[in-house]
């Protein structure tokens, strides 16, 4: 059974908003087993379900092809200056972020936002 403090997850999302400001369009943190969002900003249940499935398929494909395993995150470059970052918080939690690349500083994303999310979500586990 998933053991996580949802109020702490909500606080981590507030912190993410403070760091990424207008560059963050939406984010959800969800239970990988059930595919249900536990906390979010502009939540999107359909995206949660689809990215949950896509992440499992990517992981299976990498394993089946002899590539190294999927580690902490992957990024998709989307039309309209948008991007998606999917973060793996262990085996049981995933997080998706929809960002606008026009308003995101990539250095801040990679050196502050993603590491801070990894640490904060780990701290939300009881």
Residue 67 lies in domain: 6-123
Cβ neighbors of 110 (< 8 A, separation 6 or more) are none
- Whether 20 maps to a domain, the answer reads yes
pLDDT digits (tens, 9 = 90+) for 43-71: 999 999 999 999 999 999 999 999 999 99
* Burial of 37: CB neighbours in 10 Å, binned 0-12, 13-18, 19+: buried
- Whether 87 maps to a domain, the answer reads yes
Which CATH number goes with the domain that contains 78?
Answer: 3.30.450.30
- Whether 54 maps to a domain, the answer reads yes
Domain count, the chain: 1
The pairing of strands 93-100 and 73-78 is: unpaired
What's the CA gap between 85 and 83, in Å, rounded? 7
Which pTM does this prediction carry?
A: 0.94
- Whether 30 maps to a domain, the answer reads yes
- Whether 1 maps to a domain, the answer reads no
pLDDT digits (tens, 9 = 90+) for 84-111: 999 999 989 999 999 999 999 999 999 9
């Amino acid at each position: 059974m998933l053991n996580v403090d949802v109020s702490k997850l909500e606080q981590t999302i507030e912190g993410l908003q403070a760091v990424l400001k207008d560059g963050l369009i939406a984010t959800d943190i969800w239970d990988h087993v059930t595919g249900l969002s536990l906390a979010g900003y502009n939540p999107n249940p359909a995206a949660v379900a689809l990215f949950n499935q896509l992440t499992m398929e990517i992981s299976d494909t990498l394993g089946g092809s002899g590539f190294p395993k999927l580690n902490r995150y992957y990024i998709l470059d989307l039309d309209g200056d948008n991007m998606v970052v999917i973060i793996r918080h262990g085996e049981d939690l995933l997080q998706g972020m929809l960002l606008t690349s026009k308003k995101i500083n990539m250095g801040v994303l990679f050196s502050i936002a993603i590491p801070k999310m990894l640490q904060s979500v780990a701290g939300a586990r009881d």
